[in-house]
Amino acid sequence: MVRTLIFLSCLFLGSISLAHASTNNLSEQEKISYLLNIIGTSKLIFIRNGVEYPGREAKAHLQKKREAVGNAIQTVDDFINNIASHSSITGKPYYIEFPDGTKIESEKWLRDKLTDLQAHK
């Protein structure tokens, strides 16, 4: 019985370590793809230059911006800071609107989603 408990404890702790390691092993491009997919499937409203867009349109816009800059976006921070947080034309921040009408800047929302990814994988 004691051996079984020790074995199960080791197995459990090992699985936690592997789960944590897998998050750390995500490439920067995988993290960016994760954020784009979250945006694309979200039921939230994305506000760009005062105009509201559903998630799938916001995702398409961000993908176009990303493609336009080519290899300049190397990290998830590059993506958030230079693509997904503000208009490159007006400089105005992008916002996320929740069903209750609350709005936050997209940069904060995206960083929260990235933190969630790193905490739960």
Identity (one letter) of the amino acid at 78?
A: D
Asked if residues 82 and 93 have their Cβ atoms less than 8 Å apart, the reply is: no
pLDDT of 39 strictly over 70: yes
pLDDT of 67 strictly over 50: yes
Residue 114: predicted pLDDT: 94
pLDDT of 16 strictly over 60: no
- Bridge partners for 105 per DSSP: 95
pLDDT of 17 strictly over 80: no
Q: How confident is the model at residue 7 (pLDDT cuts 50, 70, 90)?
A: very low
- Bridge partners for 48 per DSSP: 51
**Side-chain half-sphere of 93: how many Cα atoms within 13 Å?**
13
| Tens digits of residue pLDDT in 107-118 | 999 999 999 998
CA distance 66 to 99: 28
